[in-house]
Amino acid sequence: MLDSFWELLWYTLLVFAFVAYLIILFHIIADLFRDRKMSGIIKILWIICLIVLPYITAFVYVIARGSGMAQRQMEAHNAARRDADEYIRQVAGKSSAEQIAEAKSLLDAGTISRAEFEVLKSKALN
């Protein structure tokens, strides 16, 4: 077990450094797979270097490709948001204003009567 306060402090520092490295490692690996411009061989070399010289490779990667990491993460976030918004629009259907405008165009074209327009309008508003 731990015999002194300093051993506990050292152990805590080591655990913190390991967890911080794991977080950085996961970000780096995610960025490697997210980057479409980098070839597969280069990705494999980065992963091998992360295994052989973990901390040095992580620092080099963050220094060399850090700004690109942020940009790729932002692009992935924006793409996910666009996909989610599109899905919500698809599932939710048309808004009340769109339904009323469509019913008005049908009324103007003479396809429906004024009474049918009022029914469609009341359904859209409810």
DSSP string, the chain: ---SHHHHHHHHHHHHHHHHHHHHHHHHHHHHHH-SSS-HHHHHHHHHHHHHSHHHHHHHHHHHHHHHHHHHHHHHHHHHHHHHHHHHHHHH---HHHHHHHHHHHHHHTSS-HHHHHHHHHHHH-
Q: What's the pLDDT band for 44 if we cut at 50, 70, 90? A: very high
Q: Whole-model pTM above 0.85?
A: no
The 10s digit of each residue's pLDDT in 57-104 is: 999 999 999 888 989 999 999 999 999 988 887 777 777 888 888 888
For 116-123, what is the mean pLDDT? Answer: 87
